[in-house]
Amino acid sequence: MTTAMAVARHQMRILRSDPMFLVLMFLMPLALMPIMRRALGLNLQAAGFANADGAEQVVPGQMVLFGFFVAGGVSFALFREHGWRTWDRIRASAAAPAAVLAGFSGPWILIHMLYQVLLLAAGSMFFGLRLNGGSLLGLALVVAGFSFCTVSIVLLAAASFRTVNQVQALVNLGAMVFGGLGGALVPIEQLPGWARAIAPVTPHYWAMKAHRRLFLESADFGDVVVPVLVLFGFGLMASAVGVWRFRADETKEFFA
């Protein structure tokens, strides 16, 4: 765990010196929310939520969609060590794979959670997003579960692929495909039948299912337990496979 903490501190120092990626990832969904809000509000009203104004869909939807891009930062951090030729320093510690991956994932899970909290706060401030009786504890667990899940999935990809371009392509594709299937772009009932049938295989579906219950149906904690457990389950499986797949002596290619 000494190695894990050292890696984590190193990642945080780099992020503090160059936070522009996170700033842009915060501003981009904020720019899209007012553009999409009215159309999504009409979709929700057509689905039977007469009092919906669109914030209940567009804020969590954009947060979940761009959250996968933010999680991609953990793969960039791992490959950057290879590109900077500092990976041997980590290998020299003889740390277990779980400790090394924990050092990379820990800071990004915390950053991802903070990212979601800030977008939810902005949604409340600028677009009137309200829980309206929904469980605050349930919301906190959904945020934590989605962060753990997405960072674990991306780190599994980083452990499995050889080049940073391969991982980034997967992150970009995964964000759009998972986001589209999971109901982050439009309400789930607007999707074709085949898409609704396979949507539960994506973590985005479960995150949006929980947010929908909290913001549209005033759900209590018990109503989001299943989505939260599924998100943490996805994350645990991805973490386990990632630790099994990870090889410290495997060659990784940063940008050519």
What is the per-residue pLDDT for 136? 94
Task: For residue 160, name the pLDDT band (cuts at 50, 70, 90).
Answer: very high
Percent share of the chain, pLDDT over 70: 98
pTM: 0.92
pLDDT at 100: 85
3-state secondary structure of 201: helix
Which pLDDT band, with edges at 50, 70 and 90, does 256 fall under?
A: low
- In the predicted model, is pLDDT for residue 15 greater than 90? no
Q: pLDDT tens, 119-149?
A: 999 999 999 999 988 899 999 999 999 999 9
Q: Are 203 and 113 in contact (CB under 8 A)?
A: no
Q: What is the largest CA-CA distance in the chain?
A: 61
Q: Rounded to whole angstroms, how far apart are CA atoms 231 and 250?
A: 29
Q: So what's the pLDDT on residue 233?
A: 98
- For the stretch 161-186, pLDDT in tens is 999 999 999 999 999 999 999 999 99
Query: 146 and 116 in contact (C-beta within 8 Å)?
Result: yes
State yes or no: pLDDT of 203 exceeds 80.
yes
- What lies within 8 Å, CB to CB, of 253 at 6+ separation is 79, 82, 162, 163, 164
Amino acid at position 249, single letter: D
Both tokens of residue 58? 């567009």
Band of residue 94 on the pLDDT scale cut at 50, 70, 90: low
Contact assessment for residue 77 and residue 14, using Cβ atoms and an 8 Å cutoff: yes
115 contacts: CB under 8 Å, gap ≥ 6: 22, 25, 26, 63, 67, 70
Query: Which structure tokens are listed for 25?
Result: 């990832």
Helix intervals (H) in the chain: 2-17, 20-46, 55-71, 73-83, 87-91, 97-127, 136-160, 164-182, 193-198, 203-216, 225-245
> What is the arithmetic mean of pLDDT over 52-72?
95
Can you tell me the mean pLDDT for 24-47?
A: 94
